[in-house]
Amino acid sequence: MAGIKVFGHPASTATRRVLIALQEKDLDFELVHVELKDGEHKKQPFLSRNPFGKVPAFEDGDFKLFESRAITQYIAHEYADKGNQLLSPGSKNMAILAMGMEIEAHEFDSVASKLGWEQIFENFFGLTTDPAVVKEEEARLGGEDIGDSFRRDLKLISEVRAPFRGFRKFFYFAFSAAAGISTLFTIPRLIQAVRGGDGAPDLLGNAAINIGGIVVLLALFIWENKKEEEQMVQITRDETLSRLPLRLSTNRVVELVQLRDTVRPVILAGKKETVALAMQKADRFRTELLRRGVLLVPVVWGERKTPEVEKKRGFGASSKTAATSLPSIGEDFDTRTQSVVAQSKLKSEIRFKSEVVSPGEWERWIRDQQIAEGVVPGEDVYIILRLDGRVRRSGKGMPDWAEISKELPPMNDVLSKLER
Ligand SMILES: N[C@@H](CCC(=O)N[C@@H](CS)C(=O)NCC(=O)O)C(=O)O
């Protein structure tokens, strides 16, 4: 069929950019599927359409083009009188439009692609999201300092957890300001009162009440601020913990947050022999602990292996698995979104013991936790997490498994359902 042809993949954002323009213009076209997982875009005949081996490529009769934004420009101009108007007359309007397009191409697209890759596609490919990359890219999108946007997120979470704190702080501040102003007005008369003499007012009592009030209110204000700071530090720790990676018995790497509501991780941190002994002892209570959703997470101090998780980016990644065994991205969307199936599959992969993936990160988190709890960093400790991933309790040394079997409700127990 002559006419308009788009050579691309339905899940490719660059291909979609062209399809949107065609739809805006109400044009008939054919989408010729280029199978990225088979590397069709890196072979002939596709390379003769785009020597850079990227989709989409385009054809309108015998006019051929590649680069999605150039294609959309062509569509907008060539079919100016069809469908929706995509051009704006006048040099200034066109310059503003061009500015928007440059921003999309150079400021937005790279960030959005990285975020999409980190947060959506990596999960499809069994890789783990790197929270540091996500934070960094999100900050770039917001045009703010990384620190600022992270802090703003924390503040929001903190406000959700303590909804009236902002109001209380305002209240304390407003009242101390009022008392301060009133004291200020009283001062000249107060000096007169202190000097005494005829007509001197009796203001000492009033001033004392005002000053006392200010002290109390400011103390409350400072206390609230301190509480908020502490809570933000705690939220940061919870957030970091939820992103720590683990390898399951099936070799799958997950972040702790993915095991939410499924297991109660018990972190055993200490010297190699101590941790090994605790693991052995746990084996004797295996059935009981499994019924309670316990997943052992051993962390041996100083054991920093280089993470084996291979990171690859982009559709054209050279990894063997990406090239040979992955289903097409379109199909993958359908299958993987069936989260119920995925969740139950995950459950079957969790078998009592796991292995930490970036021991250095785990160690850092445990040491921070130890400092917060007033324990000497580097001591042997165990930390029991709740089903929602937050710390349930921790203790020095290694756990008494018999006691833990008694303490934790079985997974099908109503108490476990209430554990939030
Ligand atoms: N600047 C190009 C970028 C095209 C592009 O990156 N396409 C991706 C799919 S969204 C692709 O083909 N990637 C394969 C690869 O990089 O090997 C355009 O806008 O057309």
In the reported structure, the alpha carbon of residue 318 is separated from the centroid of ligand 1 by a whole-number distance in angstroms of 15
| Letter string b/e over residues 288-297, b meaning 16 or more CB atoms within 10 A of that residue's CB | bbbbbbbbbb
Q: How far apart are CA 272 and CA 389, in angstroms?
A: 25
pLDDT at 317: 37
CB atoms within 10 A of CB 304: 13
Query: Are 86 and 21 spatial neighbours (Cβ–Cβ below 8 Å)?
Result: yes
Q: If you take atom 11 of ligand 1, which residue's CA is the nearest one?
A: 54
Ligand 1, pocket residues at CB < 6 Å: 12-14, 41, 53-56, 67-69, 314-316
Q: 227: Cβ–Cβ under 8 A, 6 or more apart, which residues?
A: 162, 165
4-78 and 247-419 have identical folds: yes
Question: What CATH fold (topology level) applies to the domain 247-419?
Answer: Glutaredoxin (3.40.30)
Could you tell me the distance, in angstroms and rounded to a whole number, from the CA of residue 36 to the centre of ligand 1?
10
| pLDDT for 369 | 85
Say yes or no to pLDDT of 313 above 60: no
How many CA atoms are closer than 13 Å to the CA of 184, on its beta-carbon side? 6
pLDDT in tens, 178-219: 777 776 766 676 677 666 666 666 666 666 777 777 777 778
User: Per mean pLDDT, which range of 111-120, 190-199, 303-312 is the poorest?
Assistant: 303-312
- CB-based contacts of 270: which residues, under 8 Å, 6+ apart? 278, 299, 300, 301, 379, 380, 381, 398
Number of residues that this document lists for the chain: 420
Residue 299 backbone zone (phi > 0: left; psi -120 to 50: alpha; other: beta)? beta
So what's the pLDDT on residue 194? Answer: 67
From atom 10 of ligand 1, which residue's Cα is the shortest distance away? Answer: 12
Domain residue ranges of the chain, discontinuous segments joined by +: 4-78, 91-146, 156-241, 247-419
Tokens standing for 318?
């050279």
- By alpha-carbon position, which residue is closest to atom 19 of ligand 1? 68
If DSSP codes are grouped into helix, strand and coil, which group holds residue 395? strand
Cβ–Cβ under 8 Å, residues 325 and 381: no
> Tell me: the pLDDT tens digits for 74-84?
999 999 999 99
* Cα–ligand 1 centroid distance for 320 (angstroms): 20
Give residue 35 CA to ligand 1 midpoint distance, Å.
Answer: 13
The Å distance, Cα 14 to ligand 1 centre, comes to 6
Alpha-carbon gap, residue 138 to 115, rounded angstroms? 8
Tell me the pLDDT tens digit for each residue of 272-304: 999 999 999 999 999 999 999 999 999 999 876
CA distances from 332 to 39, 122, 335 (A): 17, 12, 5
Pocket test of ligand 1: the residue of 55, 102, 121, 326 to mutate, having most ligand atoms within 8 Å of its CB, is: 55
Tell how far the Cα of 313 is from the centroid of ligand 1, in angstroms.
12
Q: How far apart are CA 322 and CA 194, in angstroms?
A: 85
State the Cα–Cα distance between residues 154 and 167, nearest whole angstrom.
18
Query: H helices of 162-271, where?
Result: 165-195, 204-242
Decide which of 3.40.30.10, 3.40.50.360, 3.40.50.300, 3.40.50.10190 is the CATH code for 4-78: 3.40.30.10
Of 177-181, 184-188, 238-242, 317-321, the range with the lowest mean pLDDT is 317-321
What pTM did the predictor assign? Answer: 0.44
Q: What's at 349, amino acid-wise? A: E
Structure tokens at 62: 């015998």
